[in-house]
Structure 1
Amino acid sequence: MLKKVICMVILILTTLIAYTQSVTGKVLDASNNQPLVGANLTDSTRTKGTITDDFGQFTWDVKSNGLVIYVNHLGYKELKIVVNEESPTLRILVPTTAHQLPHMIVSASNTFSQLLDIPASVSIISRNEIERDNGTNIAESLNRIPSLYMHSGTLNTNRVTMRGIGSRSLFSTTKIRAYLNDIPLTTGDGETTIEDIDLGLVERVEVLKGPASSIYGAGLGGTINMKALKAPYNTTNISSEMTFGSYGLFRTVNSFEHGTDAINLRVNYSAIHQDSYRENNQYDRQTISILNQLYPGKNTTLTFWGSWIGLKAFIPSSLDSASFAEDPRQAAFTWGQTMGFEDYDKGLLGANIAHQISEKWELSASLFGSLRDAYELRPFNILDEESGAIGSRVKLTYRPEVNNGSLLWIFGAEYFNENYQWRTFENEDRHPGTILSDNDERRSYYNAFTEANWSLPAGTIFTVGLNYNSTKYKYRDLLPDDGDKSGNYSFDGQWSPRVAILHNFSNELSVYGQISHGFSPPTFSETLTPDGVINPEIQPETGYNLEIGSRGQLHKGKLGYDFSLYSMYINNLLVARRIGDDQFVGVNAGKTRHRGIDFTLNYDLLKKSSTSDLHLWFSYGFADYFFKEFLDEGNDYSGNELTGTPRHKLSWGTDFTHTSGWYGNINFLYVSSMPMRDDNSIYSDAYSLLNLKFGYKKQVSKLFSFKVFGGLNNLWDESYASMILVNASSFGGRPPRYYYPGLPRHYYGGFSLMFKLK
């Protein structure tokens, strides 16, 4: 009998040991792979659980096979997962909620802190906010951010201004940096292109407004960080989305996603075609991208990113005031007659390793590169371009032990080298004729940076940062028929400090202040004299930003707000004078002052309702930007308003969802008039747009879901200029062409299908 009892006890113990084991893992932000500290993990009864430590890690002694775990963290969606015996080590990627922004972990700063703890002006565009629109142009999302305005003349002609910086560029974005998964979208001489990144790739956009030199180097206006979509945790999906609309719009996004504890893979193909509203404005773009993350150990992440973009877009160019009023559909005469276009292929590549060396040390190292082959047919000549770039970025994070609070110290460096070759030819009946120029540019820079963040127990955080930048241009004139214009350009290394302080009054409210220095080097064309020779006297624009702000949540977390008051002082203002159809020269002509207010509100009217969710949002930016000192060719413009930026910009809207599957949004944008010339003699007209989108989504089974949607933009059919060219010149007796017409009322509709393979 005793032997039977002993055998039974041994059998029971063996069974318990077999089914009870330690489940370990990490809980991470799905968009940036940063650990979520204090995430709650509970079982299906909601009575047993654990929380993650300072590194997002957890260990839980449970019966693992078939265990259902619920993962919760403030600012993130609840995630339900099932633990199997074959994968007791978990790597859980949690997506953010649409609206609880203060508690999101953001990468816009070096510290990867929750937004509430960042002493800077940061705006976030979530995936839900990107999907408010039809996905063809990021301008609609960016223009809801206070003090940021994206001029959008066509799908391939855009200009982003941030707090008035970059407003004097004509056809491109300058003095603002941009990254996609840490790969620079900014060239070696400071031009940024984000409009050719398909929004079907993007999970989140983080916008850091004002100088961020202690983190990103040159970029006086700010930085735009784009994060690519990843596969949902523990799933394998195939999805396809198609959109149709006015003016021949067709867009498709097709994806394969595979996410496990060992790998996260997303392959994406997208294409967009539009005949467009204006003449000579057909647009075609295709994109193939691959994002692959590997997790060889619990402390290591390897990321590989590759993207190819093929684009051909015809160019209607801008219109003078009479043509804009009479027939905004027409192309500029010379561009329409020539049937001008741009055609390019571009590749982006990047690799990153993130490794937690110990409890005190972390390493992040990236290697990136890009290639571009472009051809542009223009009325006055033909431009043939090739460029290739390579670079790297390394960052070490150190968390030493301190007696009072905690200290996070960051050291890093970034290097970028670009070779840009370009030739121009005479336009002989739309074919290359006699060669006019043959040029080779080498552009390089390096940044070395450090930043320390000291968090005190009372809730105060001190931040001190410093960046050193060195930028060089080397130019070779390969066709010196009219004199060799070869030369080199560099300026004294730039030291850029930053000091900030933030205090958390509670887990829902913080106040901050900062002083930061920023700079932007001239583009290569701005370093040239009218004779095409490098002018060594040109200096970078520099400036200081003084800012105070507050963000938080009130009314039991239903009401979120973000407020900032800033003043920027810019010296060595770069003025690009147009002296020909394709020739500009730069002059350091004065000083500007940029004062403004940014304010946003988010209110969950039906938060956590059993059937519905109704969210209201509002944003407003006030901009008082003016020339403090500005003398240009004998004219004194001191005291005049800065060109190309609206004084007031306001947006509001509402998002709703219902458990039945219906969803939608209404959004409104108002943009005030803005001066178009330095003498303030001409202003653009103010305009307002009202857009609608509604849809229905259904989870048909565990393996299949679908979504249908439709939208109407510019409901009031307002005539407006979506982009203006400041200080447009007049050549050959022709009137200056200031205006790019915006789209009139237009519609779109579409559907998406998703098949779950696992």
Structure 2
Amino acid sequence: MKKSTLSFLFLVFTLGLCAQTKTVKDSITVLNEVIVIDTLTAKNAIGIVPSQIIGATVFDNYSPVDFIGSINQVSGVYALSGALNTNRITIRGVGSRTPFGTDKLRLYYNNIPVTNGTGFSTIEAYDLENLTSVEIIKGPKGTGFGTNLGGAIILNTKQLSNQPTKFTNNTTIGSYGLLKNNFGFTHTQDDFYMTLQYGHMEIDGYRENNRFERDGFLLNSIFKLSEKSELGLLVNHIDYSAQIASSINQADFNEDPTQAAFTWKASKGYEDNNYSLVGLSHMYKASTNLKNTTSLFYTYLDHYEPRPFNILDEYTNGFGLRSLFSGNLTVSDNTLSYTVGGELYKDEYSWGTFDNLYKENDGNGSLQGDKLSQNKEFRSQINSFATVAYPFTKRLTAQLGMNINKTQYDFRDLYNSEATNTSADRDFKTLFLPSLDVNYSITNNSQLYANISRGFSNPSLEETLTPEGIINPDIIQETGTNYELGIQHKSEDNRLKLDIAIYLMPINNLLVAKRIGDDQYIGRNAGKTRHQGMDLDWSYKFNASQKIVLTPYISYTYNNHSFIDFIDEEANEDYSGNPLTGVPKHKLNTGLQTNFGNGLYANITHQFIDEIPLTDANTLYSESFNLLNIKLGYNKQVFEKLLLGLDFGINNLTDTTYAQSVLINASSFGGNAPRYFYPGNNTNYFGSIKLSYTL
């Protein structure tokens, strides 16, 4: 079926069902969060800023291992996963040009920023089973969450207040030697709440040199000090090791997608990580009209990665403070809502590289040799923010926000300390990033909103340095302005939900990291891009019979992103007007959730990913693909205090060969073909058994 036909059919289907909704005369003035097939938690996005929340209902569509599948169910978001430890999340095309990892958005864990000093976020450091919900703010409209061009992702852990003491255990086994176990303990009393989670996972993987093993625990506790004050403690620790199969070229992808890249297999390349987060928060409610929440936090990452071209040994110490005041004032008989706050993040990043002597190690893999480099960088980022929201009429509310960002880098070459120009400071100019949100309530259940917001992205470490390893003084931050218009509608009985947003975001000073060697990049500001498109989410819940409840849903993304002004000076080519590299034009997620009313349920999910341009010249594209997954489950109250849950799932039901992630503008070294593709898993199975015991 052609893509245009596919898009037309589902839009007609959507509009037809929308016609069944009722009109309500009442109006409201607060913009509710967009909820993707879920009713879960209050949003974190400040004021009337729209966001999307996914939680248990969406997580239940996928395996407990498949965090990326859940995120991909959100329109406007595309997460590419080369492996469990190799993920890249893009929002509305922002971040698609990053070679490895996720940047240009800000990641929070219980409102604590966990994005490092240059803007990189590691989603794989967190266990899906420890989360209650994931909230996504698309674009820079999240004034209190960094105003990054890509937006913000907020991970929320389980906080089940007023619940009895409970033990839970979920064990999952599956293909490729998968074993995952998550144990939880929750306890609540009048002035104290605690949850403790411990998880272990191991899997050999679909490909060669692809084993992943992770252990981690989460402690989340709240102490109620008084009627107005409470203290929270969060401790999250993850220890994981992951072999690296890396990307492969087109011929190897077609011949045998299970194979690892030759040099990564020969060196038995892998990464070993220890990551810790400790946060202490205090909430004080001075009155019904004034509240403050302040968090102190510390993060630590120890990363060791033997690679074919060298061995990387690095560690990062980060710490910071986030404080938010929120309250209400009466102005002209109306209630004005305001927030004022700030966020300070500092980290110290130390890294060195060593020779990898794997060729001399008799086939035993990587062997550390002589030191090649030793560096240290001190990085700091300050975000100050404020918002004011005011209802001008019963139907019309406006919110004005301002974020002020200041970023500094201090780079030191400790290996060539006697040489000149090997250490330098980089003090980026202060950015003033305003935002305006307007919400108009057409009816009680239909709301129209608009946003104009300014955002930015910091250059990555590679982009700030020249190939000689010194600070590039010419690199500046990307900046852009988001223009967005959307409508949110739900039926009176809350069965139908429809959310549509269109947007336009030109980005200036496009940051480009061009790879010129195995571990060398040239960073530069190369031009402008235009990000424009549409996000659509629809769901409808209806009773097929007295017991059977069906919930079909659609999540559709239309990306029409392109280079406005982009000249590749090395290639002497003008790519202006070309579609943006690394982004599919169409992304479609559909599914059907069926609840049979007796504890039995069945979920079917489908994903379509359009072809992706792999080069700036648009001379090579990945192939489009469809994936089909199914999951069956059963929940039974065995005894008064014991709940039993069983589920079984099949992923990639049609055994499609596809690239789950791609590497854009892949370079060719040593006469070898460029390696663009990370193969996705073939047909695979999983099953889980969950026990929950309440004291």
| SS of residue in 2 equivalent to 1:173 | coil
> Do the aligned partners of 2:402 and 2:434 also contact (CA within 8 Å) in 1?
yes
Superposition pairs of residues 55-134 of structure 1, within 5 angstroms: 99=37, 105-107=42-44, 109-111=45-47, 118-120=48-50, 122-134=51-63
Deviation at 1:461, TM superposition (A): 1.0
1:694 corresponds to which residue? 632
Q: Find the partner of 1:708 among 646, 651, 659.
A: 646
Superposition pairs of residues 284-683 of structure 1, within 5 angstroms: 284-429=213-358, 430-480=366-416, 483-484=419-420, 485-554=422-491, 556-606=493-543, 611-633=547-569, 634-683=572-621
Q: 1:405-451: CA deviations, max 9, x gaps?
A: 21011111100010011011111232221110011110101011111
Aligned counterparts of 1:98 and 1:539: Cα–Cα separation in 2: 37
Aligned counterparts of 1:529 and 1:390: Cα–Cα separation in 2: 28
Aligned counterparts of 2:605 and 2:59: Cα–Cα separation in 1: 12
> Do the aligned partners of 1:391 and 1:417 also contact (CA within 8 Å) in 2?
yes
Q: Find the partner of 1:187 among 116, 121, 125.
A: 116
| SS of residue in 1 equivalent to 2:656 | coil
Aligned length: 654
The 1:218–1:601 alpha-carbon spacing in structure 2 relative to 1, beyond 3 Å, is: closer
TM-score, normalisation: structure 2 = 0.92
1:686 aligned partner, one-letter code: S
Q: 1:5-37: CA deviations, max 9, x gaps?
A: xxxxxxxxxxxxxxxxxxxxxxxxxxxxxxxxx
Aligned residues with identical type, % of pairs: 38
Aligned counterparts of 1:142 and 1:622: Cα–Cα separation in 2: 17
Aligned counterparts of 2:492 and 2:383: Cα–Cα separation in 1: 44
Greater shift, 374-383 or 655-664, is seen at 655-664
2:92 corresponds to which residue? 163
Aligned counterparts of 1:737 and 1:477: Cα–Cα separation in 2: 31
2:141 aligned partner, one-letter code: A
Aligned counterparts of 2:539 and 2:284: Cα–Cα separation in 1: 36
1:732 corresponds to which residue? 670
2:597 aligned partner, one-letter code: T
| SS of residue in 1 equivalent to 2:298 | strand
> Do the aligned partners of 2:82 and 2:679 also contact (CA within 8 Å) in 1?
yes
Deviation at 1:391, TM superposition (A): 0.3
Deviation at 1:701, TM superposition (A): 2.0
Q: 1:163-195: CA deviations, max 9, x gaps?
A: 110001111101011111122221000001112
2:382 aligned partner, one-letter code: Y
Aligned counterparts of 2:35 and 2:665: Cα–Cα separation in 1: 43
1:641 aligned partner, one-letter code: P
Aligned counterparts of 1:285 and 1:615: Cα–Cα separation in 2: 34
Aligned counterparts of 2:305 and 2:467: Cα–Cα separation in 1: 23
2:83 corresponds to which residue? 154
Rg larger in 1 or in 2?
1
1:165 aligned partner, one-letter code: V
Unaligned runs of 5+ in 2: 1-31, 359-365
Deviation at 1:298, TM superposition (A): 2.8
Larger relative contact order (C-alpha < 8 A, sep ≥ 6)? 2
> Do the aligned partners of 1:640 and 1:680 also contact (CA within 8 Å) in 2?
yes
Aligned counterparts of 2:169 and 2:38: Cα–Cα separation in 1: 29
Deviation at 1:653, TM superposition (A): 0.6
Q: 1:662-703: CA deviations, max 9, x gaps?
A: 012001000000100000000000001010000111012221
Aligned counterparts of 1:652 and 1:201: Cα–Cα separation in 2: 26
> Do the aligned partners of 1:186 and 1:193 also contact (CA within 8 Å) in 2?
yes
> Do the aligned partners of 1:655 and 1:664 also contact (CA within 8 Å) in 2?
yes
1:252 aligns with 2:188: no
1:749 aligns with 2:687: yes
Aligned counterparts of 2:657 and 2:692: Cα–Cα separation in 1: 39
Aligned counterparts of 1:144 and 1:486: Cα–Cα separation in 2: 44
Aligned counterparts of 1:148 and 1:426: Cα–Cα separation in 2: 38
Aligned counterparts of 1:540 and 1:748: Cα–Cα separation in 2: 44
TM-score, normalisation: structure 1 = 0.84
2:660 aligned partner, one-letter code: S
Deviation at 1:231, TM superposition (A): 3.4
2:341 aligned partner, one-letter code: G
Deviation at 1:213, TM superposition (A): 5.5
1:696 aligned partner, one-letter code: Y
2:551 aligned partner, one-letter code: H
Aligned counterparts of 2:250 and 2:611: Cα–Cα separation in 1: 15
Deviation at 1:232, TM superposition (A): 5.5
2:8 corresponds to which residue? none
Aligned counterparts of 1:218 and 1:333: Cα–Cα separation in 2: 41
Q: CA RMSD in A?
A: 1.8
| SS of residue in 1 equivalent to 2:471 | coil
Unaligned runs of 5+ in 1: 1-74, 77-95, 112-117
Aligned counterparts of 2:444 and 2:190: Cα–Cα separation in 1: 31
> Do the aligned partners of 1:473 and 1:524 also contact (CA within 8 Å) in 2?
no
> Do the aligned partners of 2:216 and 2:236 also contact (CA within 8 Å) in 1?
yes
Deviation at 1:222, TM superposition (A): 0.9
Deviation at 1:457, TM superposition (A): 4.5
Aligned counterparts of 1:99 and 1:731: Cα–Cα separation in 2: 47
Aligned counterparts of 2:611 and 2:458: Cα–Cα separation in 1: 29
